[in-house]
Structure 1
Amino acid sequence: MSQNPKLIQSVQRAIDIMECFDYNKKELSLSEISEILNLNASTVHGILLTLQVNGYIEKIPEKSKYKLGTKLLEKGTLVLEDLDIREIVRPYLKLLTNKYKETSNFCLYQFGNLYIIEKIESPLSFFAMTSKIGLKIPLHASASGKLILANLNQKDLNEVLKKIKLIRYTENTLSDINTIKEVLEKVRIQGYALENEEVELGLYTIAAPIFNHKGEILGTISVLGPTVRIRENEDMIIADLILYSKKISKEFGCNP
């Protein structure tokens, strides 16, 4: 913790606690946080409780551990308005929507959740599928979610599958773990994913992965629309998504 006398100690400690979490330490116990910060457990517990009540920290009861809360993502969405990440992706989404006249999305994976953070809406006024920035995407049922799961290491994948609720949104939604794992292996090999009316009847989505400079899955780009229209152009959409996803990944520093 900084020793600057002008800082408010309790606020700084709350920030220090949140800084304890990273990609290698996504979940931490009270004792682990206390040890990292060299603070007594009662002090850490009080701050954790305050952060938890306000949504910035979430407790995992079955593990007696804590993780970062989704409130951070909500606030982070505001920051994303000014970040280059969306500026990099937006031109490619425009190319996709201009060519196919369907809605295109960029989804970002953070803290175990997947959110739409950029979109270009279909210009069609008749039977067009829309999306909402900030919307949380189901990992097991969506094309983008399947890509995220398919590109996690085995340990992280098993942990995520234990946590998520395998809700059946339609009769096409996958809800069996073994079947999901078989689909994920296929997705990993082919490099793209499909969603055939698994979240919403009449909705068909194709997605391709975006990787960061470490070669880790960062998010996805996708094209979605009415099943009949998307299926008519499926091969071309897949080819364009793969092409653009590789270009975007390269801009994020990924070297295939």
Structure 2
Amino acid sequence: MAETTTVQSLDRAFDLLELLCKSRNGLTIGAMSAHTGLHKSTVHRLLASMCARGYVVRDGETSVYHAGMRICELSGCIMDNIDVIERARAPMERLSRETGETVHLVMQDERDIVYIHKVESVSGGIRMFSRIGMRRPLYCTGVGKAILATWPEDEARAAWRASDIEACTEHTITTEDGFLRELTRVRRLGYALDNEENELGVRCIAAAVLDFRGRASYALSISAPLSRMTDERIAELRIPLLAVRDEIAAALGG
């Protein structure tokens, strides 16, 4: 009986905590009681325990309760301990096997992306010049544009203006208006393309790995020689790419 009571208490405490985390302006005991169907005395008792540990704070003037910063501290610890590559490795290998193409995982660092994992194509043809640890500008890569499209436009524009814009190939977008139009297109489609903008003879489709805020610091891409990456092939690859992207994002809490 005691074990059942303990589990029930935990469930009720988590219900209250999740409710507070989703409330922008906080809630009173009465409001939480109405939301959960719990008696006010039960709500008060559970909140007192959570307040004592910093998971909940109470405004002394209004008696409104808010989620405490202890939640942020723990979420930061969780994110610091997540091994992104380990979470992404198996899905990326499966995606490469299914598509027969090279798959990359990158992370954003300042105005660049850095390749942090790569699964090489088994289909042959030209070999991608990318390598683990290589840095490329955000603005001229499919993965970079996918990441920037998740940012507010003023931040994306600031990243563009802070970059040393140059044409990596004859296809690189080198005007701010063209760049912003491209990000609008990426937001509409849900994925980005690199049409030989970073490397001649190579085309890729990329998708940002969203975090819990709907923003991205990581992105996934499928790259292949231009001869294999027709518009029809891009349309085919979009579905497995986005599915694996979502799988990785879920594993990372996105």
TM-score range, shorter chain: 0.5 to 0.7
The answer on 1:84 being equivalent to 2:60 is no
Mapping of residues 1-256 of structure 1, within 5 Å: 84-231=83-230, 233-254=233-254
Taking only the aligned residue pairs, the percentage that are identical comes to 28
After superposition, what is the alpha-carbon deviation per residue over 1:40-63, rounded to whole angstroms, capped at 9, x for unaligned? xxxxxxxxxxxxxxxxxxxxxxxx
Contact 1:171 1:198 in 2 (8 A): yes
* Structure 2 residue matching 1:209: 3-state secondary structure: strand
Q: d(CA) in 2 for partners of 1:139 and 1:98? A: 27
Q: CA deviation at 1:149?
A: 1.6
Q: CA deviation at 1:177?
A: 0.5
Q: What are the ranges of 5 or more consecutive residues in structure 2 without an aligned counterpart?
A: 1-79
* Structure 2 residue matching 1:140: 3-state secondary structure: helix
Structure 1 pair 235–176 and aligned structure 2 pair: CA distance change class (3 A): same
Q: Where does residue 21 of structure 1 map in the other structure?
A: none
Q: CA deviation at 1:205?
A: 0.7
Q: CA deviation at 1:168?
A: 0.4
After superposition, what is the alpha-carbon deviation per residue over 1:152-184, rounded to whole angstroms, capped at 9, x for unaligned? 113322221111012101111100100110110
Q: How many residues align?
A: 174
Contact 1:204 1:225 in 2 (8 A): yes
TM-score (norm: length of structure 2):
0.64
Contact 1:121 1:130 in 2 (8 A): no
Q: CA deviation at 1:210?
A: 0.1
- Aligned residues: CA RMSD: 1.9
After superposition, what is the alpha-carbon deviation per residue over 1:8-50, rounded to whole angstroms, capped at 9, x for unaligned? xxxxxxxxxxxxxxxxxxxxxxxxxxxxxxxxxxxxxxxxxxx
Q: d(CA) in 2 for partners of 1:83 and 1:246? A: 16
Q: d(CA) in 1 for partners of 2:169 and 2:159? A: 22
Q: d(CA) in 1 for partners of 2:149 and 2:213? A: 17
Q: d(CA) in 2 for partners of 1:160 and 1:111? A: 8
After superposition, what is the alpha-carbon deviation per residue over 1:177-235, rounded to whole angstroms, capped at 9, x for unaligned? 00110110110121100111111110101101101223221211101110111225211
Q: CA deviation at 1:112?
A: 3.8
Q: CA deviation at 1:83?
A: 5.7
Q: Where does residue 34 of structure 1 map in the other structure?
A: none
Q: What are the ranges of 5 or more consecutive residues in structure 1 without an aligned counterpart?
A: 1-79
Q: d(CA) in 1 for partners of 2:94 and 2:198? A: 25
Q: CA deviation at 1:137?
A: 2.1
* Structure 1 residue matching 2:118: 3-state secondary structure: strand
* Structure 1 residue matching 2:105: 3-state secondary structure: strand
Q: d(CA) in 1 for partners of 2:105 and 2:203? A: 16
Contact 2:193 2:205 in 1 (8 A): yes
* Structure 2 residue matching 1:230: 3-state secondary structure: coil
TM-score (norm: length of structure 1):
0.64
